[in-house]
Chains A and B, each alone.
Chain A
Amino acid sequence: MPIRRDNDAASVFRNLDWPTVLIYLIMVVAGMVSIYAASYDFDNASMFAADEFSGKQLRWIGLSLVLGMVILLIDARMYETYAYPVYILVVILLAITPVIAPNIKGSHSWIEVGSMRLQPAEFAKFATALALAKLFAGYHFQLNAKVSNYVKALAIIFVPILLILLQNETGSALTFLALFFVLYREGMSGLVLFGALFAVVIFVVGLKFTEGTVIGMPSGQFAVMVMIMIVMVGMSAAYARRLEIARNILVGMFGLGAVVAVLSACGVTLPGLYVTVGAVAVACIYVVIEAIKLHRPRLYAPVAAAVCAVVFLFSIGAAFDYLQPHQQMRIKVALGTVEDLRDAGYNVNQSKIAIGSGGFLGKGFLNGTQTKLKYVPEQHTDFIFCTIGEEEGFVGAMIVTLLFLGLILRILSIGERQPTTFGRVYAYCVASYFIFHFCINIGMVIGLCPVIGIPLPFFSYGGSSLWGFTILLFILLKIDASRKSVMVY
């Protein structure tokens, strides 16, 4: 098979994925305009004034474009070749950052380079993506083949997480958890994602519904116990390849439910905690016996899931206490158990008011009053979506949402068309980061997620974030543009 040397500048632009580039350009320009609007205070200077946030962002954008061009001109194979050195370099930088970084609002995550402040955590994104892609691109690498493969992949993901946690930047650190989507795409069992989702459900239900009681236990906990039983039923059915076991558990469950209902109707109150835990325990023992009888080790999965879930449910309280008070507060606010409009809930409430007041078409550019009058804090950084929602209304917010959806789907399809594992895994990494930032940032602004301080890519003010995502995206574009020139065998 011939190797085409198709790496000159002209061919790069011929093969470039222009839809992605277009979305990128729209986003950064819209971002700058929004930043101008967010920091505009009525008797104000030009959008391009160098000492305004928007002017500074313009400078960052200019530099980003230069950076993007440079990335496009570097030989695509370099990214694979130097993936590990780049990763190690960034890890070292992350490790020394808390030491050399000055304290800015309680976080030691910014290093000063001349007059610029850079956040190494943002650059860890692309380095980690490169390293992970390189790992998977290894000869005959199969994620599920060996446990050590998981260890390696998880090490690559968790080293930056731990180092960034040391800088007290919980939000940025959590971003890397999105890379589990990549592991999933490359063969990790869907049970892990399902388990994570189930854990979130347990967490939310268990913490949110603490008011009422069912047979003497908090309604949330009771609901979770019922859910656990249902999951056991489903999993037993799936893993046993026959329905008897699932049916028997279900029958037992309803029988117990009927007995409990009758007894409480007669005025006998049962200790709900022991009843539900006992029911799960009996079901588990039954499934274990069946597993031994049928010689189906896979049947241990529902038992393990149930045990983990129960333990998790009753340790939420303790785990929750382990969080810092402001984090606890943010979670409670997002769950709606605490309506604290003055303190932790203030941001979210104000941001909902700002967005809500936008209406269908918005108040018009620079006419937003909520964001202007500084009701919404961090409006030019993490809460930039507010300004868009207020001034451009539902239409503007929808367009931004769809732009992100389009970008993410486009990246996924770019990933799937890569001839190399390296390209594909890298693309999925990029998509994962965008998914996380999109979900969390917009989710918190509209009050659906707890407040986690991470920026909206390409919109929020800040050079590090803009550069980090630009590098991330343009390396993907370059790998994609030269996909036809790689050896395929």
Chain B
Amino acid sequence: MRKNYELEKRKYIIGGFIVIVALVYLVRLFDLQINDAKYKQSADSNAFLKKTVYPSRGLVYDRNGELVVFNQPAYDVMMIPRDVHPFDTLDFCATLNITPDDLNRRLDDMRRSAGYSTYTPQRLLAQLSVQDYGRLQEKLYRFPGFFIQKRILRQYNHPTAANVLGNIREVNADDIERDDYYSPGDYTGDLGIEKSYETYLRGVKGVEVLMRDAHGRIQGRYEDGAHDVAPVSGRDLRLSLDIGLQMYAESLMVGKRGAVVAIEPETGEILCMVSMPSYDPTLLVGRQRGVNYRALVQDNSWPLFDRALMGAYPPGSTFKPTQGLIFLQEGIITLETTYPCSHGYISGGLRVGCHGHASPLPLKPAIQTSCNAFFCWGFKAMIDKRSKYGTSAAAFEVWKHHLVSMGYGYKLGVDLPGESRGFLPNDRFYNRFYGEGHWSANTVISVAIGQGEILATPLQIANLSATIANRGHFITPHVVKEIQDTVMPVEFLQRHYPTIEARHYDAIAEGMRMAVTGGTCRRAAIPGIEVCGKTGTAQNPHGKDHSAFMGFAPYQNPRIAVAVYVENGGWGATYGVPIGSLVMEKYLTGTIAPERKPMESMMMNSSIIYANTQR
């Protein structure tokens, strides 16, 4: 092989290059490690305490700018075990108001806890009282290795809306595993907006680098805070709730179980969202949180269960408007179509009862009088119309898809955790139950009037009300109106159009108007305001019928849509209608007309006795 000696010399260039680089690196290492004392000093870990600075959590305001949730400081006693020198334990215990046994027990617990290390800060005591904090702060210099960590707790201006506001709790091992942001002892949102808006509310933690002497005493900030990281406060939230309306609705629901949901139809903003029984959110703040939380969990009236969005109830007659819409859309009926009602629907040996009113009757009066027979006949006409759909199962699927588009059967996507999807049966459900081809309209007739297998949340019912108020569209309901310095997620801004054409909604709205002027919900009438409404009286396996109401007002350009559900309240007109109309009146006029005061006080003072085992 021919050797090219000219090129071979280039090995010296390459070799020389790497030798020079190595030399430069060695000089640099020498400079860093031997010459410059700065780094040695910096690294002397004894000299440093990296203290986490907690950002203030975002505040929560209601739609009118009234402060609802704010922060209060709390103080934890922390220690770095490696830095603790023998200290006067009796003095320490006296300062903190604990017994030496208590101290030893806490130390043992700490050592056994996950994530224990003698090098990192460990928590000895949580949430000192202000007095204890003051006493300890003065004597802290006597206890090297201990320091006080400031944390943020929540405080509430009104004892209301616990289900929406939620609360904060200490993180558990799962939280820390799931999200790098958390370290033991941090707080995270639990329930309500505190949970669903956690990433906005929490902000970003900061760090303060403090210098200590050999005895662990703080000597000041390192390099005047050049290495500190300032915390970033959490973003404030502005709720769509009207906190006054919320408290008013809660007062009407006292002594009853159920839910009230009011929505501003144009925006999908939830104006109030009551779940009863409720609790004071301040119960879940501070050292008593554990005890109170356990009590709430064990309370057999389920106060932690947000009935407004977790409770799946038979919607009863509030469901009938959906049926009218589907029949119109599918061309099963026109506005002139009439069905007979002979105190009920009688077909093939089956009887669904009804009450006395004119017969036969078309759609609008059927809604006005809440005629069971009309909707049963319509349902039968649709489901058994083999000429159009082929089979009952196929017809049922069409029926179901319309309902899904109106927000039933699936979660609406409200910005709160734990929403239930309600229940809509599909053809497979009935095929499994009755066998394929062995069921028809009459087999499942009760779904036509919102009974049977159908379940809906009060939120879904309110959303239907808003959809009718808007004459054919809705915006996903949400409780947060604005996030500070951020735009709202697009899903809370865009309109959803159900598969029903807008023109069909007018008849339904008119029927609901007629129900107030001369039908089942006459008590909903508010002087000077055209109210629309629909009652519901839902049979259920838990005893007395549930009382339900769905309505909106004013008739033209509605500003509020509401749904009320009172467990075992009897007729829709008994509780549902008065509570719903009072909430609308309060929101629209800011007051209650004198002639309606008796009704108001009756609602506020009436209670329902519940057997304690049900949910």
Interface residues of A (CB under 8 A from B): 41-43, 181, 184-187, 190, 341-342, 352-360, 369-370, 372-373, 389-390, 393-394, 397-398, 401-402, 404-405, 408-409, 412, 415-416, 419-421, 428, 431, 435, 438-439, 442-443, 446-448, 488-489
> Contacts A356-B38, A401-B25, A401-B26: A416 and B11 contacting too (C-beta < 8 A)?
yes
Q: In the bound complex, do residue B40 and residue A359 qualify as a contact, i.e. CB atoms below 8 Å apart?
A: yes
* 15 extra A-B contacts, CB within 8 A, seeds A358-B33, A394-B33: A185-B10, A190-B13, A356-B33, A357-B42, A370-B43, A372-B119, A373-B45, A393-B33, A401-B22, A412-B14, A416-B8, A438-B18, A446-B25, A446-B32, A488-B1
Q: In the bound complex, do residue B33 and residue A185 qualify as a contact, i.e. CB atoms below 8 Å apart?
A: no
Q: Whole-angstrom distance between the alpha carbons of A372 and B43 in the complex? A: 12
Binary contact track B1-29/A, C-beta < 8 Å → 1, others 0: 10010011011011101110110111011
- Whether B34 sits at the interface, judged by CB under 8 Å, is yes
Nearest residue, chain A, Cβ from B45: A369
> Contacts A357-B44, A358-B33: A42 and B15 contacting too (C-beta < 8 A)?
no
Q: Which of B27-59 contact A (CB under 8 A)?
A: 28-30, 32-34, 36, 38-40, 42-45
Q: Whole-angstrom distance between the alpha carbons of A419 and B17 in the complex? A: 25
- Whether B226 sits at the interface, judged by CB under 8 Å, is yes
CB distance from B14 to the nearest CB of A (A): 6
User: Could you list some 10 contacts between A and B, CB below 8 A?
Assistant: A42-B118, A353-B42, A356-B32, A356-B40, A356-B43, A357-B44, A360-B34, A397-B33, A412-B11, A442-B25
CB distance from B183 to the nearest CB of A (A): 12
CB distance from A157 to the nearest CB of B (A): 17
- Whether B297 sits at the interface, judged by CB under 8 Å, is no
> Contacts A41-B117, A398-B29, A448-B28: A356 and B36 contacting too (C-beta < 8 A)?
yes
CB distance from B426 to the nearest CB of A (A): 35
Q: In the bound complex, do residue A357 and residue B39 qualify as a contact, i.e. CB atoms below 8 Å apart?
A: yes
CB distance from A340 to the nearest CB of B (A): 11
Nearest residue, chain A, Cβ from B230: A342
Q: Which residues of B sit under 8 angstroms from A373, Cβ to Cβ?
A: 45, 119-120
Q: Whole-angstrom distance between the alpha carbons of A405 and B18 in the complex? A: 7
Nearest residue, chain B, Cβ from A448: B28
Q: Which residues of A sit under 8 angstroms from B227, Cβ to Cβ?
A: 341-342
Q: Which residues of B sit under 8 angstroms from A428, Cβ to Cβ?
A: 14
- Whether B488 sits at the interface, judged by CB under 8 Å, is no
Q: In the bound complex, do residue A185 and residue B11 qualify as a contact, i.e. CB atoms below 8 Å apart?
A: yes
Q: Whole-angstrom distance between the alpha carbons of A185 and B10 in the complex? A: 6
Q: Which residues of A sit under 8 angstroms from B30, Cβ to Cβ?
A: 394
- Whether B84 sits at the interface, judged by CB under 8 Å, is no
> Contacts A357-B44, A394-B30: A352 and B11 contacting too (C-beta < 8 A)?
no
Q: Whole-angstrom distance between the alpha carbons of A353 and B43 in the complex? A: 6
Q: Whole-angstrom distance between the alpha carbons of A416 and B40 in the complex? A: 44
CB distance from B107 to the nearest CB of A (A): 16
Contact of A419 among B1, B7, B22, B226 (CB under 8 A): B1
Q: Whole-angstrom distance between the alpha carbons of A342 and B1 in the complex? A: 58
| A-side interface mostly | helix
Q: Whole-angstrom distance between the alpha carbons of A359 and B43 in the complex? A: 11
Q: Whole-angstrom distance between the alpha carbons of A359 and B11 in the complex? A: 35
Residues of B in contact (CB 8 Å), total 38
CB distance from B444 to the nearest CB of A (A): 46
- Whether B229 sits at the interface, judged by CB under 8 Å, is yes
Q: Whole-angstrom distance between the alpha carbons of A111 and B136 in the complex? A: 55
Q: Which residues of A sit under 8 angstroms from B28, Cβ to Cβ?
A: 446-448
Q: In the bound complex, do residue A420 and residue B11 qualify as a contact, i.e. CB atoms below 8 Å apart?
A: no
Q: Which residues of A sit under 8 angstroms from B44, Cβ to Cβ?
A: 357
Q: Whole-angstrom distance between the alpha carbons of A435 and B14 in the complex? A: 10
Q: Which residues of A sit under 8 angstroms from B34, Cβ to Cβ?
A: 359-360, 394
CB distance from A348 to the nearest CB of B (A): 12
Q: Whole-angstrom distance between the alpha carbons of A187 and B2 in the complex? A: 14
Q: Which residues of A sit under 8 angstroms from B45, Cβ to Cβ?
A: 369-370, 373
CB distance from A367 to the nearest CB of B (A): 11
Q: In the bound complex, do residue A412 and residue B7 qualify as a contact, i.e. CB atoms below 8 Å apart?
A: no
Q: Whole-angstrom distance between the alpha carbons of A405 and B20 in the complex? A: 10
Nearest residue, chain A, Cβ from B38: A356
Q: Whole-angstrom distance between the alpha carbons of A174 and B581 in the complex? A: 71
Q: In the bound complex, do residue B29 and residue A431 qualify as a contact, i.e. CB atoms below 8 Å apart?
A: no
Q: Which residues of A sit under 8 angstroms from B11, Cβ to Cβ?
A: 185, 412, 415-416
Give the most central of B7, B18, B227: most A CB within 10 Å.
Answer: B18
Q: Which residues of A sit under 8 angstroms from B26, Cβ to Cβ?
A: 398, 401
Q: In the bound complex, do residue A369 and residue B33 qualify as a contact, i.e. CB atoms below 8 Å apart?
A: no
Nearest residue, chain A, Cβ from B8: A416
Q: Which residues of B sit under 8 angstroms from A187, Cβ to Cβ?
A: 4, 7
Q: In the bound complex, do residue B1 and residue A439 qualify as a contact, i.e. CB atoms below 8 Å apart?
A: no
CB distance from A314 to the nearest CB of B (A): 29
Nearest residue, chain A, Cβ from B227: A341
Q: In the bound complex, do residue B43 and residue A354 qualify as a contact, i.e. CB atoms below 8 Å apart?
A: yes
Q: Which residues of B sit under 8 angstroms from A353, Cβ to Cβ?
A: 39, 42-43
A-B pairs, top 5 by smallest CB distance, nearest first, are: A356-B39, A357-B43, A369-B45, A394-B33, A405-B22
Q: Which residues of A sit under 8 angstroms from B29, Cβ to Cβ?
A: 355, 389, 394, 397-398, 401, 446
Q: In the bound complex, do residue B18 and residue A185 qualify as a contact, i.e. CB atoms below 8 Å apart?
A: no
Q: Which residues of B sit under 8 angstroms from A412, Cβ to Cβ?
A: 11, 14-15
Q: Whole-angstrom distance between the alpha carbons of A186 and B14 in the complex? A: 12
Binary contact track B101-135/A, C-beta < 8 Å → 1, others 0: 00000000000000001111000000000000000
CB distance from B303 to the nearest CB of A (A): 42
Nearest residue, chain A, Cβ from B41: A357
Q: Which residues of B sit under 8 angstroms from A489, Cβ to Cβ?
A: 1
CB distance from B44 to the nearest CB of A (A): 7
CB distance from B219 to the nearest CB of A (A): 18
CB distance from A119 to the nearest CB of B (A): 23
Nearest residue, chain A, Cβ from B117: A42
Q: Whole-angstrom distance between the alpha carbons of A200 and B320 in the complex? A: 77
Q: In the bound complex, do residue B25 and residue A389 qualify as a contact, i.e. CB atoms below 8 Å apart?
A: no
Q: Which residues of A sit under 8 angstroms from B10, Cβ to Cβ?
A: 184-185, 190
Q: In the bound complex, do residue A448 and residue B25 qualify as a contact, i.e. CB atoms below 8 Å apart?
A: yes
Q: Which residues of A sit under 8 angstroms from B229, Cβ to Cβ?
A: 342
Contact of B1 among A184, A369, A408, A420 (CB under 8 A): A420
Q: In the bound complex, do residue A185 and residue B39 qualify as a contact, i.e. CB atoms below 8 Å apart?
A: no
Q: Whole-angstrom distance between the alpha carbons of A488 and B10 in the complex? A: 24
> Contacts A355-B33, A358-B33, A398-B26: A186 and B7 contacting too (C-beta < 8 A)?
yes
Q: In the bound complex, do residue B33 and residue A431 qualify as a contact, i.e. CB atoms below 8 Å apart?
A: no
Q: Which residues of B sit under 8 angstroms from A185, Cβ to Cβ?
A: 7, 10-11, 14
Q: Whole-angstrom distance between the alpha carbons of A190 and B16 in the complex? A: 14
Contact of A439 among B8, B19, B21, B39 (CB under 8 A): B21
Q: Whole-angstrom distance between the alpha carbons of A428 and B373 in the complex? A: 92
Q: Whole-angstrom distance between the alpha carbons of A404 and B532 in the complex? A: 85
CB distance from B252 to the nearest CB of A (A): 52
Q: In the bound complex, do residue A352 and residue B119 qualify as a contact, i.e. CB atoms below 8 Å apart?
A: no
Q: Which residues of B sit under 8 angstroms from A184, Cβ to Cβ?
A: 10, 13-14
Q: Whole-angstrom distance between the alpha carbons of A436 and B440 in the complex? A: 77
Q: Which residues of A sit under 8 angstroms from B7, Cβ to Cβ?
A: 185-187
Q: Whole-angstrom distance between the alpha carbons of A430 and B346 in the complex? A: 91
Binary contact track B188-199/A, C-beta < 8 Å → 1, others 0: 000000000000
CB distance from B21 to the nearest CB of A (A): 5
CB distance from A26 to the nearest CB of B (A): 17
Q: Whole-angstrom distance between the alpha carbons of A190 and B13 in the complex? A: 10
Nearest residue, chain B, Cβ from A356: B39
CB distance from B229 to the nearest CB of A (A): 5
